[in-house]
Amino acid sequence: MSAKSVDIHGKNYSRGLFMLAVLVATFAGMLMGTSLGTALPTLMNDFNIDLATAQEATTWFLLANGIMVPVSAYLSTKFPTKWLYVVAFSMLLIGQYISYSAPNNNWNWFLAGRIVQAIAVGITMPLMQVVIVYIFPAKDRGAAMGLGGLVIGMAPAIGPTLSGWILDKNHTILGLTLSDSWRSIFLLPMFVIALDLVMSLFLLHDVVPNQNIKLDIRSLVQSTVGFGLFLWGLTNVANSHYDGWFDIPHVIIPGLIGIFFIATFVLHQLEMKHPFLDVRVFKIKQFSVTTILISLSMMAMMGIEMMIPTYLQELRGLSPLSSGLTLFPGAVLMGVMSLVAGAVYDRNGAKRLSRVGFMILSIATFPFLFIGLNTPKSFITIFYALRMFGIAMVMMPLTASAMSALPKEKASDGTAANNTARQVASAIVVSLLSSVTQNIANTEGPAKALKSENVLEFSRKTLDVTLTGFHASFAIALIFALLGFIISGFLHSGKIISNDPNLLDEKGDKQS
């Protein structure tokens, strides 16, 4: 990947150094999406807030990120690649500093920083995939997407482990002293992004052709309000202050209004000559099927990745660092396999890889239906790693296949649509599994009177019911994996080596 390439202005640049700058900053940004999960108790103590409020550090990041992703198609088409990255990296650095410097009596200051960070990541993550389409030929795109897998897959998985390590005790790294405070979680990414921002001024180039398109305010409002309210309603499902899926003012009403605005947004795009986000990309079967499968793989992954740390800490009494280390081998394996799977895709296509991947994912998920309070940590580590092995075989090949099914000029729209589906799928599964687990605990838990009569029996029954809730969540994750295996049978057999969808027949079976 060190070969010299030419940007849209005819200037030479290094693809390898270009990708290095992009991957490093995007990794540091996505790391922040999950890194505060293990810091919630510390945030609750320092800001004097309850758990539901502390969880806003993650839910508002998810919300702002989900709103920005559909906008990314317009931004990447309208503005030069280099300066769009420079602005996004600068916003990421500023957002992290805002949160880092938040006074202990001002939670809203902290949240404002999280929102700025999420907006930046909402630009850099989709733009990275668009850039890969433009700077790598189709024969090398799988391997390049595999590098992207290191960012998309490993960063969220490593985040909790890194935070647990920082919060465990004081550390010194790269000359920075990291104290056992939530503020230190921001220091290392800030240092990396600041360095990468300076490098990007010299290494990045304009590689995506630009068009002087006018911002359609109506589309922007419909997209922002629609996806914003829909995702906000979903994130409220898991809020302990509300009544789950049946909370009318906080879940049902914003969800329905969001769906209405999303529907009007889609209809408006179909009527436009130059759409804000071209939803017609879903008319291409290969793109639609791969997007569905990517969403299912995200739901299957999040179904376990979200619940296992909670199980390890709440039911097994492990520290945040110990629970993170239990899952760390899986994160590393996923990163390594993303590279391997990308290279294999370049030779064989996505169908065979995804079928095997979903099969491995299903087999490795099944044992989680039977874990108990005394299940060895090694058992969890092995099967979690096996699950991540399957996810890696699915995620990057499908992403590369989806992008290859589109003309290059639709790469921005395809990436935005693909990532929006991924974001919505993540929000749905987090809300679904949280509500299922909580509902089982509420409806099948022991009577409160038992606590005063026999506290040991009350504790035992509470643990049993909570474990049942986790088993139900794992079963739902297994269903998503099995659905993925079934639907992957409809994929194109072989590798698509052209971005021209006219080379595919209605069944998506013809290959260039």
Would you say residue 2 has pLDDT above 50? no
Helices (H), 306-374: 307-310, 320-348, 351-365
What tokens does 1 get? 């990947």
**Res. 99: pLDDT tops 80:** yes
Give helix 455-487 / helix 351-365 axis angle, nearest 10°. 160
**Domain match, 354 and 430 both:** yes
Task: Determine the Cα–Cα distance for residues 473 and 291; give it in Å rounded to an integer.
Answer: 23
Query: Tokens for 34?
Result: 């999950």
Residue predicted with more confidence, 324 or 261:
261
Burial 465-484 (b: 16+ CB within 10 A, else e): bbbebbbebbebbbebbbbb
336 and 220 co-located in one domain = no
* Domain-ending residue, one of 273, 298, 323: 273
User: Based on the domain organization, do 366 and 470 belong to the same domain?
Assistant: yes
194 and 207 share a domain?
yes
Residues 305, 290 share a domain: yes
Domain-terminating residue out of 190, 213, 236:
213
Residue 371 shares a structural domain with residue 251: no
Residues 284 and 329 in one domain: yes
Domain that includes residue 441, residue range: 280-512
Give the C-alpha separation, 121 to 472, whole Å. 32
Instruction: Count the neighbouring beta carbons within 10 Å of the beta carbon of residue 392.
Output: 30
What SS3 state is found at 177? strand
**Coil, strand or helix at 176:** strand
| CA distance to 233, 246, 433, per residue, from 254 (Å) | 5, 12, 20
The residue with greater pLDDT, 7 or 320, is 7
Say how many C-beta atoms besides its own lie within 10 A of residue 361's C-beta.
32
Residues 161 and 294 in one domain: no
State pLDDT tens for residues 39-97: 777 788 888 887 667 777 877 887 788 788 778 888 888 899 999 999 999 999 999 99
Report the number of distinct structural domains present in the chain. Answer: 3
Q: Quick one: tokens of 278?
A: 């071209």
Measured in Å, how far apart are the chain's first and last C-alpha atoms?
25
Q: How confident is the model over 282-305, as pLDDT tens digits?
A: 888 888 999 999 889 888 887 677
Both tokens assigned to 260:
């209405």
List the one residue out of 27, 57, 30 whose CA is nearest residue 41. 57
Considering only 260-264, 334-338, 441-445, 466-470, which range has the smallest mean pLDDT?
A: 441-445
- For residues 14 and 277, the model is more confident at 14
The C-alpha atoms of residue 62 and residue 47 are separated, in whole angstroms, by 21
pTM over 0.95: no
CATH code at position 383: 1.20.1250.20
Cα-trace Rg, the chain: 22
**What beta strand segments (E) does 444-505 contain?**
none
Regarding whether 246 and 334 lie in a shared domain, the answer is no
Check whether 438 has a pLDDT greater than 80.
no
